[in-house]
Amino acid sequence: MTPTLPTLLVLDADPPPRLGRLTGRARIEHTDAAGLAGRLPTADVLLVWDFASHAVRDAWPGPGPRPRWVHAASAGVDHLMCPELAVSDTVVTNARGVFDQPIAEYVAALVLAVAKDLPRTLELQRERTWRHRETRRVAGTRACVIGSGPIGRAIARTLKALDVTTALVGRVPRTGVHGPGDLDRLISRADWVVSAAPLTEQTHGMFDTRRFGVMQPSAVFVNVGRGGLVDEDALAEALRRRWIAGAALDVFASEPLGGESPLWGLPGLIVSPHMSGDTVGWRDELGSQFVELYERWAAGRPLRNVVDKKRGYVPGH
């Protein structure tokens, strides 16, 4: 008798993942957000390819069996976690490792762009205006990176290569990593405050009016973590009152950022559309990572990148 193939359900986004290597090894089915709830009971594995969708969080509490394994094609899993999934026996994995260095490079590019006043240079070029200015030296400045996972560590390494003195802050203090109790002291001395933390109950809204008030007037705030880490109204006030020198946001509380949002016109703010980790070929890399994980799962071997569902991230860093 031919063995029954596991059913792999893909919550799609355009373009869909390339899963040709799984032909004959899985029954691959596709769904959109509207059809997810009805398809979950028949799936053994769920691939959340649409990293921006909240459909899993909405559909998971329904009746019937649930997949034994859920993989998020993203570093964060806050968009899919719900209490019912958190307490279930379902294993959740993420795309840890794919975005680390690309995001680190993006942060370094933002630091250099702000220090060297590149946005104003491009504006003056469009205006055909020759205006000599002085810019900031990056070497010898201080950075505080919040989030000690692979992305945060890659950011710290890259900034150190620019001769930036860098402090790393994590959930638990350990060798080379400061704890939350040191955060205010470190950001009060930092020229660059970089947010790369996961979004959890403890980190939601951590960058608020008080935290922006702690930063020095020459500081620049960069968020490549999650939009929910930042009180955007508080950031807007800090920029308007010049409590800080500038900011760069790649993630937002609501995405895509609407054209009516006041964030677009804030002085000293660089807006980018959640693209810091998306380099040429990133989707293929995500697909290959999932196929390798599927091969481990099908062979009964331990999965990598297993998320602690209560903490909301992969532990061990």
- Rounded distance, CA 116 to CA 47, Å? 42
263 phi/psi in degrees, rounded to 5: -60, -35
CA atoms within a 13 Å half-sphere pointing along the CA-CB vector of 166: 25
Which DSSP symbol is given to 238? H
Whether 274 is a known active-site residue: answer yes
Q: Name 174's bridge partners.
A: 177
Which residue among the candidates 153, 178, 226, 232 is catalytic per the annotation? 226
Which residue among the candidates 255, 292, 295, 301 is catalytic per the annotation? 255
9 phi/psi in degrees, rounded to 5: -100, 130
Q: Vertex 263, ends 259 and 269: CA angle to 5°?
A: 130
Whether 255 is a known active-site residue: answer yes
- Rounded distance, CA 199 to CA 57, Å? 15
Which residue from 199, 188, 254, 198 is spatially nearest to 221, judged by alpha carbons?
A: 188
Active-site residue set: 226, 255, 274
